[in-house]
A and B are shown apart, each in its own frame.
Chain A
């Protein structure tokens, strides 16, 4: 029983990171219909920049703030330089552009930083908290709390603020949003900044547990995407639930089946979801118009 609880704890912790990545996917997907395969690199950048700044002597909170701001700026640059010029391109092209951006950012991180594995201290120490025979690290609580806080923050932003509603309107109908005077380019910029910032936050929160290196991004991107898809592409609630579910499935697979194939579990689930319910758990079916 305590064993199961332990697996659940670790599943919820990684799940929270996947949920943050999935939320990042969702924001960009809603604003631009683009699935950003470079989403995982934002997580990598969040961790790497924080480590770099911290070991240079900058206090951890400021280093983290710097990392999130710089990553958000990189997200905006990516939108301006790579996504906006390719508007209307076929999906194959967009997939290659965002994968290209992902490889480019990895290459840049290798050059600017290095190829080693890094971490920085946990925020509230490393003394495990005992709960019902299992233990959980304080940093796990930071990660889980971070994911929930971001979700609530986004929910308030999208439903309660004028700007958030403008973003929603743009995702529903770009042309109509332009007609009622919404600056859709600004909405795109904002979405990329927000999405990249959330990714970086995930990296900042998770690095003390998962460690970071220039090449960790792709795995986060794939799992986060799996979570977003499981929940239903474009649905923030789905992204949150889907991310946590992927984390749990992974931890349970590692615990009870095979730790080597824990990464496979996410994909098997995704393939099953795609065949049984392609619109995901919370998505709606769409009909093509001809």
Chain B
């Protein structure tokens, strides 16, 4: 499987990525690739370096080693807002919702790249500024409907349930029409129903051609929806492949002490 992956259509490629904090190697020499419309999951025990890896890919941390390219262009260490312009978007493990805004405004914020213009036009509320804002609002309402939050549009975001906030973050991330979406534990803290909703949502987004890079603890979900899985342990990649291959991998089973990976394997 790995060998047959077509490098021509690679959307995101990560080569030899690494970072240290205070002399400790949090992530070391990790490489993998993501193709358009593919769902790639990064799994591993707690503290394996998954979120750190995400933070490097999305420009929040500056990698200490290795390179990242997006659509064939090197983007290593590029600032998040520049990555957003190149089609990368993400959600966060511990929610980063704009608390004091309404749900609708949170979603509109996702359209920043489409709606932004000159600050003078905004101060004077010139027709162009209003037109851009209106278009963004329409887009945001459509997105909210897609994640089933249309009814909550005018509520203050801080008052939403956890599962709804997770979906709101995905909506906000989708607003910039990314080519690749990084989801950091989208189902963490959600109940079974909410998890299933998010599960469907992810599959739907991938079906529309957007590549998805996923960090998730819910093994059932990972095994069910992933096309490809990268397994990290102690900051290093210990295995990679399709769900069935990975769940049979002895190194992976050892890393997870058997139990979790086995149940995951049953579902694959």
Contact = CB atoms under 8 A, between A and B. Distances in A.
Interface of A: 287, 290
B92 A287 contact: no
A287 B21 CA distance: 9
B64 to A, nearest CB: 12
A287 B20 CA distance: 12
B21 A290 contact: no
A67 B60 CA distance: 50
B61 interface: yes
Nearest to A288: B60
Nearest to B21: A287
Contacts of A290: 51, 55, 60, 92-94, 96
Interface in B33-63: 51, 55, 60-61
A224 to B, nearest CB: 30
9 contacts: A287-B21, A287-B61, A290-B51, A290-B55, A290-B60, A290-B92, A290-B93, A290-B94, A290-B96
A287 B51 CA distance: 14
Contacts of B96: 290
Contacts of B93: 290
A290 B96 CA distance: 8
A290 B91 CA distance: 10
A57 B25 CA distance: 67
A290 B52 CA distance: 9
Contacts of A287: 21, 61
A181 to B, nearest CB: 27
A290 B21 CA distance: 15
Interface string B77-114: 00000000000000011101000000000000000000
Interface string B6-31: 00000000000000010000000000
A128 B60 CA distance: 59
A33 B93 CA distance: 26
A279 to B, nearest CB: 14
Contacts of B51: 290
A88 to B, nearest CB: 14
A287 B55 CA distance: 12
B173 to A, nearest CB: 14
B89 to A, nearest CB: 15
Interface string B240-261: 0000000000000000000000
Nearest to B184: A290
A39 to B, nearest CB: 31
Interface in B92-144: 92-94, 96
A136 to B, nearest CB: 44
A290 B93 CA distance: 7
Interface in B195-220: none
A168 to B, nearest CB: 19
A134 B173 CA distance: 68
A91 to B, nearest CB: 16
B13 to A, nearest CB: 24
Contacts of B21: 287
Contacts of B55: 290
Given A287-B21, A290-B92, A290-B96, 6 more contacts: A287-B61, A290-B51, A290-B55, A290-B60, A290-B93, A290-B94
Nearest to B58: A290
A287 B26 CA distance: 13
A290 B61 CA distance: 10
A68 to B, nearest CB: 40
A232 B61 CA distance: 23
A287 B96 CA distance: 17
A290 B50 CA distance: 12
B235 to A, nearest CB: 16
Contacts of B94: 290
A290 B92 CA distance: 7
A219 to B, nearest CB: 37
A290 B94 CA distance: 7
A154 B24 CA distance: 32
B165 to A, nearest CB: 16
A290 B55 CA distance: 8
B136 to A, nearest CB: 25
Nearest to B55: A290
Nearest to B93: A290
Nearest to B94: A290
A164 B93 CA distance: 37
| Shortest beta-carbon contacts, A-B, top 8 | A290-B92, A290-B60, A290-B55, A290-B96, A287-B21, A290-B94, A287-B61, A290-B93
A10 B93 CA distance: 55
A273 to B, nearest CB: 22
B188 to A, nearest CB: 14
A288 to B, nearest CB: 8
B28 to A, nearest CB: 18
Nearest to A285: B22
Contacts of B60: 290
A93 to B, nearest CB: 15
A287 B92 CA distance: 16
A48 to B, nearest CB: 43
Nearest to B60: A290
